[in-house]
Amino acid sequence: MKRFTRYAFGAAGLFALVSAVLLTAGWGSAVASNVSGVFVTNTASNPLPVSGTVSVGSIGGGATVDVGNTPSVKLDPTGNTVQLASHLGQQALISGTFSFNGAAIQDFTVPAGKAFVIEHVSARVTANGGEGAELDAKLAPAGGGLPYTVYLPLEAQPGFGQGGSLSLLVLDEDVTLVAGPGANTLTIAGSGSGVDGRVDYTLYGYLVDAPA
């Protein structure tokens, strides 16, 4: 009985000592000092809320980042902001055909208050004679001002310009061009004398609100 009493008093003293240490150092710090290597998984059923600035430049292992709820995304280092919702559902395609005899101009119109962001250009030029042709786009700036000209390189297909026979020039390029609201033009000009033919073209991209 005396031995049990000594053990009881000893256990009570040890508990009091541990309690005093935890009250002094704090329960949280005592527990945290023994916790390491915690891995948190962000699942669809239990997503992790994220706020503030999140860096995604060092994500490895083939991971992807899904930006939901159509927020604004800041693109550094320029610091410009793109509203992801600005062109969702507003994909645009402008295509047409026009003839030329030496040269020709074809207009295409962007709706008022909109800018046409062109992501892909394709063209097929069927020409008679000459040494080639040049295709240019004269585009209106989205924010107003004087039009600017962009050279669109055509690639001669085998047999072009040989003996004045019917020949082909093609263009198929990913681009980043912006055509402002109103009239924009494509211009074809043949190289050499007596060049005539036809241009089939397609401009693909999306519409956004033009700057006020």
- CB contact at 8 A, 155 and 171: yes
The pLDDT of residue 127: 83
Cβ atoms within 10 Å of 208's Cβ, excluding its own: 18
Per residue in 88-124, pLDDT (tens digit) is: 558 999 999 999 998 999 999 999 999 999 999 999 9
With 90 as the cut, is the pLDDT of residue 74 above it? no
pLDDT computed for residue 15 by the predictor: 54
Query: CA 173 to CA 119: how far, in whole Å?
Result: 9
Whole-angstrom Cα distance, residue 127 to residue 190? 8
With a cut of 90, say whether residue 173 has pLDDT above it: yes
152 three-state secondary structure: strand
Give 9-58 pLDDT, tens digit per residue: 455 555 555 455 545 555 555 555 555 566 667 777 777 776 666 665 55
pLDDT at residue 206 greater than cutoff 90: yes
Instruction: Assign residue 18 a region (left: φ > 0; alpha: ψ between -120 and 50; beta: otherwise).
Output: alpha
Instruction: State the average pLDDT over residues 125-145.
Output: 86
Average per-residue pLDDT for the chain: 75
When pLDDT is averaged across residues 145-155 and rounded to a whole number, the result is 93
More confident residue, 83 or 52: 52
Which tens digits make up the pLDDT trace of 153-169? 998 887 655 555 567 88
Instruction: Specify whether the CB–CB gap between 102 and 197 falls below 8 A.
Output: no
